Amino acid sequence: MAEDPPRDDRSSDPSPAGPAVPLPRTERPDAPLYLASYLRRQASRSALAPPGDADATTPLYLRRFRERRAEPDAFDAPPPLWNGEALDVTPAWADVTRTKEIVPPTPAATHRITAQIHLVRHGETQGYSTESGLTPLGGWQAHRRGFDLSKGVRDGEQVRIVCADTNRARQTAAHIHRGLLDGLELWRRDAKIEEPRPTEEFRNFQVATPDGLRDVTSAFRIYHAVMERYERVALGDRPMWLVELDRFWNIQQGGADPIHHWMTIPMLHFEPPASCVRRFWAGFQRLVGEAPGARIVCATHSGPIRAFAAWAVGYDPGEPYNTEEVLVKLKEGGQEALVAYRNRVQEVQVPPLADLPDWWEGIA
């Protein structure tokens, strides 16, 4: 029996009833689109090039690279941009910029620091309603602060320690003094550390009472005695100074922030925050004038420190912790200063005290 001839599946339909249908072809003789665009650019570049230019078809960046490479000392010359003196690049800065952090170039020194003032809040106290002084933890905090300050004291430097005239501030200054001496002995440095002494300019904010101006803690004892008599015998309306002190101490006893109340609510019998900032600057200028170049450590209270920091940065940065400090650096010339508090440094102008207005002048 004869065999059937083989069928061509590419040109005929397997169905016995249908006619043979040819399949579409996929071969393309033309170049791909990216290659066609490249050929058109090459053709136009060759047409525009002057006669005899063999590098007309070479890209410009490649021609420039070949020209620089052909120079004899091309790889020996330093890079002109990032190695010049105009950028003030140091090896330390270059090493820092290897990280992902953005670090600006170190600016050239345009000023010199002539004095440093450390405003230190007192250590933990046994209570604000009495003059009972520091707790054992508060004494350790102040000693530790003095020890830490000793790390930055140089040989031959003079350190003056001043404080507010309260038990907690005086004890804090005494512990800072001992911590400084212990640290300097450990680091084997020779510096002149003066004994602590109370200073009037760095007192706590005052309250006007019938017995005169008193520290807010001293005023509490007067308030407590007078308020008890009013409540016991019902003498009638309380005087305004008693009303304002009552509001202040009720906030303290309720666990809120009385310093925020003092800084934001007008009180006629309390020394205003601006007055504290003004006398702090008066104390700075007097101490710097008496001992130029000396480092000043001042143990004082949180209210004036907080008011001073708020004046410098333009907002209330919050209550300082026990023995936390605000650092003031006076620049050469005495016209400007740097105030550092909680990782922020603010450049400020030293206020001309003689030109500041005296709001109480002429007021009866």
Model pLDDT for residues 287-299, shown as the tens digit of each residue: 999 999 999 999 9
Residue found under tokens 């200073």: 199
Q: Answer with the one of 257, 288, 318 that is the final residue of a domain.
A: 257
121 closest CA partner among 280, 284, 301? 301
What pLDDT sits at residue 6?
A: 52
Q: Answer with the one of 257, 292, 326 that is the final residue of a domain.
A: 257
Q: In this structure, are 190 and 223 located in the same domain?
A: no
> Is residue 99 one of the residues assigned to a domain?
no
Q: Tell me how far the alpha carbon of residue 183 is from its chain's centroid.
A: 27
Q: In this structure, are 243 and 335 located in the same domain?
A: no
CATH number of the structural domain spanning residue 348 = 3.40.50.1240
Domains contained in the chain, number: 2
Residues 6+ apart with CB under 8 A from 335: 349, 350
What pLDDT sits at residue 26?
A: 64
Range of the domain at 345: 113-204+271-355
> Is residue 196 one of the residues assigned to a domain?
yes
Q: Are 118 and 284 in contact (CB under 8 A)?
A: no
- The whole-model pTM stands at 0.69
First to last CA, the chain: 141
What pLDDT sits at residue 231?
A: 72
Q: In this structure, are 200 and 224 located in the same domain?
A: no
Cα angle, residue 357 at apex, residues 356 and 358 outer, rounded to 5°: 120
Q: In this structure, are 166 and 226 located in the same domain?
A: no
Per-residue pLDDT of the chain (364 residues; tens, 9 = 90+): 455 555 555 444 555 555 666 766 666 666 677 777 777 777 776 666 666 565 666 777 777 777 777 776 655 655 555 444 555 666 666 665 565 555 555 555 567 899 999 999 999 999 887 788 999 999 999 999 999 999 999 999 999 999 999 999 999 999 999 999 999 999 999 999 999 999 999 999 999 998 899 988 888 888 888 887 777 766 567 889 998 998 998 898 888 999 999 999 999 999 999 999 999 999 999 999 999 999 999 999 999 999 999 999 999 999 999 999 999 999 998 899 999 999 899 999 999 988 888 766 544 4
The Cα 279–Cα 268 span in angstroms is: 19
Which two three-digit tokens encode residue 53?
């230019």
> Is residue 184 one of the residues assigned to a domain?
yes
Q: In this structure, are 168 and 281 located in the same domain?
A: yes
pLDDT tens-digit series, residues 138-177: 999 999 999 999 999 999 999 999 999 999 999 999 999 9
